[in-house]
Structure 1
């Protein structure tokens, strides 16, 4: 079966090369037909598990779509390469480069939404391998949506990036990303999510050892409709008070309250950093903060 598919692939390549030839009666290469034949060849190679040859065929298809000035089809072809190259983990960085090139083509073609979705898809696939690159891709995708005034989509992707920044312990950047998320949620008037982001900000700032910044986040959030007196507000006020007074029991109670303990999990644990709060911290994992950056 594999040999048959490889033979079929070579037959399609031969047809493609014929489409590219010119003559006295055919002045221009038929790029559209050549691209179509290379697409068929690529599928045959892929079915035969000849992934390197499939990659070469897809690249030829993309090249001839570009020559034919059909950038959307060229970009789609480069995105398809992602699903070929991911067969080998070491090929993923190369695949991501093609995605980024496809993104530029989508933008030039006037289809930025498709560009952002391709970056998001690439981010999901590279995330288990390279968190730093996933952050970059999610942030780029968010930027594309933001430029198109699609803030709901942009803020969702920013949330993905924020979670990974926490996991990478890049907390200064996470704090900046969270503030941007919060501003977007405020702009689209999703105030409950603003509350959640405030909670996340407080936890991040305390983990950074910046009590002043944590306190400022809560105070600034008093202007949000419904925040003052809410469960989120009371919990953070209590947490900050316990932290300031080095009251380990009070911090423990807040960190084990349903508001924090049962949040949906993409979790990083972080101890408070205050000597009084750190006392007996090995007694239980629940004496640590559970830092969650929601993507919803």
Structure 2
């Protein structure tokens, strides 16, 4: 019964397409195609193909439908058709092409004056491409952020810039991460959303330390204490200052000790992975004593910290 229903839907789709093609024809008395009627028929055919799980036919017809809607001057509905084409392409496991269709849909929403819809689409779709190409996710978050800024939704834009930064750090792109976090800081400062700034300041300081530039990290810390009372009074501020002090002293053992604070181990996972590289092996005194008793030679009881298996994979 299930397959019979699919067969019926496919036949229904084909009939809608035939009707649509008739509306597209011109003649001596009919100089222009009837776009409205053709679009309606093709749209119904797309629905039938989607229900029948004929994803390739639905995709192809959605793309044709989008072009007709552009020709008609309705970019919003053309965006809807491109979004449907992207969804069908995802079903066909062609993620790079799906990303292109989603991008085109977002552009059409913006062109039609529906920037909110474009921003929502980009933000919703960005996570889908993290595993195949994080640069696509970053691009989508940035486009969503810019559309949000155009709509004067600065707080939403700040959140999107930060999400893009978290993808950039996973790619190991420190310069882009730094730039995006600085943009986030500037927006939050203008909004006086100091409750959100503390975490962003921490990430900016850590990025400088990852780049072995503790002087720049200290400068960010000092400026934050001066410019943001919320940061200066933040209870976690001392953990950051103590870590900076350890870097100023170039004391690797002290750095290792202080970066293992529960606070640092509870932040954004990608930053934690990078922080763990500062952790030095610890000496197991009990094992060392037992080894000394059983052998005449002195051996080290050093046991390395067990890090995540995928620590080096910043993706």
Structure-1-length-normalised TM-score: 0.87
Greater relative CO (CA pairs within 8 A, separation 6+) = 1
User: Deviations for 1:112-163, whole angstroms, at most 9, x for unmatched residues?
Assistant: 1111222222212222221111111111211221233211111111111111
Offset of residue 247 of structure 1 = 3.7
Task: State the alpha-carbon separation in 1 of the partners of residues 27 and 271 from structure 2.
Answer: 65
Matches within 5 A, 1:110-259: 110-222=113-225, 223-248=227-252, 250-259=254-263
Please point out which of 83, 88, 92 is paired with 1:88: 92
Task: State the alpha-carbon separation in 1 of the partners of residues 209 and 194 from structure 2.
Answer: 23
Offset of residue 104 of structure 1 = 2.3
8 Å CA contact retained: 1:10, 1:41? yes
The residue matched to 1:231 in structure 2 has which SS?
A: coil
Task: State the alpha-carbon separation in 2 of the partners of residues 67 and 226 from structure 1.
Answer: 54
Offset of residue 23 of structure 1 = 4.1
More divergent stretch after superposition (177-186 vs 251-260): 251-260
More divergent stretch after superposition (79-88 vs 262-271): 262-271
Pairwise CA RMSD of aligned residues? 2.3
Task: State the alpha-carbon separation in 2 of the partners of residues 69 and 18 from structure 1.
Answer: 21
The answer to whether structure 1 residue 260 and structure 2 residue 261 are counterparts is no
The corresponding residue for 2:291 is none
User: Deviations for 1:45-91, whole angstroms, at most 9, x for unmatched residues?
Assistant: 222222111111111211221122111111111112221111133x2
8 Å CA contact retained: 2:169, 2:270? no
Task: State the alpha-carbon separation in 2 of the partners of residues 181 and 161 from structure 1.
Answer: 10
8 Å CA contact retained: 1:45, 1:51? yes
More divergent stretch after superposition (194-203 vs 41-50): 41-50
Task: State the alpha-carbon separation in 1 of the partners of residues 181 and 8 from structure 2.
Answer: 54
Rg larger in structure: 2
Aligned residues: 283
Offset of residue 14 of structure 1 = 0.4
Task: State the alpha-carbon separation in 2 of the partners of residues 29 and 16 from structure 1.
Answer: 10
The residue matched to 2:231 in structure 1 has which SS?
A: coil
Structure-2-length-normalised TM-score: 0.82
Please point out which of 3, 15, 23 is paired with 2:7: 3
Task: State the alpha-carbon separation in 1 of the partners of residues 275 and 159 from structure 2.
Answer: 27
Change (3 A) 1:267 1:69: same
8 Å CA contact retained: 1:35, 1:60? no
Offset of residue 208 of structure 1 = 1.3
Can you give the 5+ residue segments of structure 2 that lack an aligned partner in the other structure? 283-302
The residue matched to 2:229 in structure 1 has which SS?
A: coil
